Amino acid sequence: DTEVTQTPKHLVMGMTNKKSLKCEQHMGHRAMYWYKQKAKKPPELMFVYSYEKLSINESVPSRFSPECPNSSLLNLHLHALQPEDSALYLCASGTSGRTTTNEQFFGPGTRLTVL
Amino acid sequence: DAKTTQPPSMDCAEGRAANLPCNHSTISGNEYVYWYRQIHSQGPQYIIHGLKNNETNEMASLIITEDRKSSTLILPHATLRDTAVYYCIVSGGGFKTIFGAGTRLFVKA
């Protein structure tokens, strides 16, 4: 299985809502990533988990809370978001940590709109 | 990780080879060159990576110059479905991956 799945595909939420984005991979990768992508811009790294431990937090506001329940699952909990947080949120899993290289495999993304 | 420079856009005729250049003049000895592409509204797709030697897979070929300061991704027979943004990334194998602006490739019929 070489697929990374993300749910939901689309999400609309108000600024007071709490929601979660979910990501799953079954490639045996031990590194998992969250990226944020605004329109016509490249993806920006938010968080990296390695062996289910948070390895990198790129100074992301605390209204974004990542969680890695096990080696196959990655969540991003959202609370009190702002309209400027509207973006495509991409999950990836990668070979780093198991090998010396870092090929990453991306899911299709969740398109988030904050009203 | 070393910075990369790519042209903002390129055109290619369908059926012809698409050659996408990337400059990475500050690359260090343990850093790999990775290529990804992103078709509109989809997640990025891993294409290929290399260290020193040229590499080929079912999607593309990667040619790295002997001094490793630049590389070229070659799509041998471009199709309309290859229209996408192509990202060249240099990374030392750690977790961090920094995407630049990439090259927007338009394949025309």
Residue A103 contacts B, CB cutoff 8 Å: yes
Smallest Cβ–Cβ distance between A108 and the set B43, B100, B101 belongs to: B43
CB A43 within 8 A of CB A37: yes
Give the mean model confidence (pLDDT) for residues A35-51. 95
Give the mean model confidence (pLDDT) for residues A17-45. 95
Label residue B44 by pLDDT band (50, 70, 90): very high
Residue A27 contacts B, CB cutoff 8 Å: no
pLDDT attached to residue A101: 83
Mean pLDDT, all residues of chain A: 93
Residue type, A5: T
Which run of H or E residues covers position B50? Answer: strand B45-50
- What's the gap in Å between the CA of A48 and the closest CA on chain B? 7
Smallest Cβ–Cβ distance between B97 and the set A50, A100, A104 belongs to: A104
Residue A33 contacts B, CB cutoff 8 Å: yes
Residue B2 has pLDDT above 70, yes or no: no
The share of chain B scoring above pLDDT 90, in percent, equals: 84
CB B59 within 8 A of CB B48: yes
Residue A106 has pLDDT above 80, yes or no: yes
Label residue B12 by pLDDT band (50, 70, 90): very high
Q: Under an 8 A CB cutoff, do B95 and A50 touch?
A: yes
From B38, which residue of chain A is nearest by alpha-carbon distance?
A42
Structure tokens at B71: 């590389």
> Would you call A79 exposed, middle or buried from its count of C-beta atoms within 10 A (0-12, 13-18, 19+)?
middle
DSSP A71-105: TTEEEEEEES--GGG-EEEEEEEE-BTTBSS--EE
Label residue B29 by pLDDT band (50, 70, 90): confident
pLDDT attached to residue A2: 64
**Cβ contacts of residue A82 below 8 Å, gap of 6+?**
A15, A63, A114
Q: Under an 8 A CB cutoff, do B46 and A105 touch?
A: yes
DSSP structure class, residue B17: P
